[in-house]
Amino acid sequence: MRRVRFLAVLALVAASVLALALRPGASSFAQAPTPPATPSTPPAAPAAPQVDWNAVQIKTDQVAPGIYMLTGRGGNIGVCVGDDGAFLIDDQFAPLSDKIKAAVAALTDKPIRFIFNTHLHGDHTGGNENFGKAWTVIVAQNNVRRRMSVDQVNALTGRTTPASPAAALPIITFEDSVTFHMNGYTELAFHVAPAHTDGDAIVRFVEANVIHMGDCFFNGRYPVIDVPAGGSIGGMIAATERAMPLMDDKTKVIPGHGPLGDKASLWAFHDMLVAVRDKIQPMVTAGKTADEIVAAKPTAAFDATWATDSTSAARFVRVVYSDLSRKK
């Protein structure tokens, strides 16, 4: 019986992959998990108990024909629908899965065939288990599965989060890139150098001129950079610079967090990152402590645009300090 079930599952996955004509050699079925070389920040914590999930509404905005952005609580979701089924980018938190399914069902009567995780954090992968149990194929960069497969230890806070359940893990992984051919579009996903984490991937809908940046782009707010999971401010800057040549003035850019953006808003984010790094680096080199650098307010010129509350600027400065001050 177990063998029959295994063969049935294997056949389903293989059929889905072949039907979408994934580029040969671009992706691979995930291998046995390998613990990450360095401690990782746990997936972004599932929402606190006080969150009223019933009050969370999923908003749908059309980005291009057949392509939408869903917002609720957590990372922005990309959706592509058409005759081939639904392709999702990220899935927010588990308690929202039914609402997300309903939002997609309002766009298409086709099944959700694929979910692509832009990175490991729980506000982007929290629904994986629910969708995985419903036979949706989950795809991500190799490092996402590796980190989700083992207990996640945050070296900064000491907090440990258990490994994700098997149904939540990506079952197809890739190293550099993977291409989907679905609903009349070419969806090219490519790994970027350690940026927000070490498993970030950007997804480009080539013909639609739409790019989903994941958490390599926070629109209108200071970013989170998961340094223990391999992230760095230099990598964030590099990720924006890699995506920029793929854009023109009409490109729609879905950020990991914040409103729909464009090339100009991504440039503004890039320039802020560069300026903040260049202000903090000399202070780190001079031996200043994190508290001293926070007190110097190196983000003051940007806070009116990028700070979302009274503490977000200081948090961002401390994260940048932890990156620039570590031994490399």
Q: Please indicate whether residue 311 or residue 328 has the higher confidence score (pLDDT).
A: 311
Look at residue 328 in the predicted model and tell me its pLDDT.
66
pLDDT confidence band for 32 (50 / 70 / 90): very low
What order of strands is seen across the sheet that includes strand 185-191? 177-182, 185-191, 201-205, 210-212, 252-254
- Which of 279, 283, 285, 321 is closest to 299 using CA atoms? 279
pLDDT confidence band for 17 (50 / 70 / 90): very low
pLDDT surpasses 50 at 3: no
pLDDT confidence band for 154 (50 / 70 / 90): low
Q: How far apart are CA 25 and CA 3, in angstroms?
A: 27
Look at residue 152 in the predicted model and tell me its pLDDT.
79
Look at residue 30 in the predicted model and tell me its pLDDT.
36
pLDDT confidence band for 304 (50 / 70 / 90): very high
- Name the least confident of 6-20, 90-104, 291-305: 6-20
DSSP track, 110-124: S-EEEEE-SSS-HHH
HSE-up of residue 117 (Cα within 13 Å, Cβ side): 37
Identify the helix (H) or strand (E) that includes residue 172.
strand 172-174
Quick one: average pLDDT of 172-195? 98
Quick one: average pLDDT of 225-240? 96
* 207-226 pLDDT tens trace: 999 999 999 999 999 999 99
Look at residue 155 in the predicted model and tell me its pLDDT.
60
pLDDT surpasses 90 at 29: no
User: What residues pair up with 203 in beta bridges, in sequence order?
Assistant: 189, 212
CA 161 to each of CA 40, 49, 151: distance values in angstroms, whole numbers, following the listed order: 10, 16, 6
Alpha helices by DSSP H, listed for 184-311, are 233-243, 263-285, 290-295, 303-306
User: How big is the chain by its Cα radius of gyration, in Å?
Assistant: 19
Look at residue 153 in the predicted model and tell me its pLDDT.
75
Q: Please indicate whether residue 70 or residue 16 has the higher confidence score (pLDDT).
A: 70
- Neighbour-count burial of 50, counting CB atoms closer than 10 A to its CB (0-12 exposed, 13-18 middle, 19+ buried): exposed
Q: How far apart are CA 61 and CA 126, in angstroms?
A: 22
Percent of the chain with pLDDT over 90: 80
Quick one: average pLDDT of 41-53? 55
Assigned superfamily of 16-278: Ribonuclease Z/Hydroxyacylglutathione hydrolase-like (3.60.15.10)
* 85-114 pLDDT tens trace: 999 999 999 999 999 999 999 999 999 999
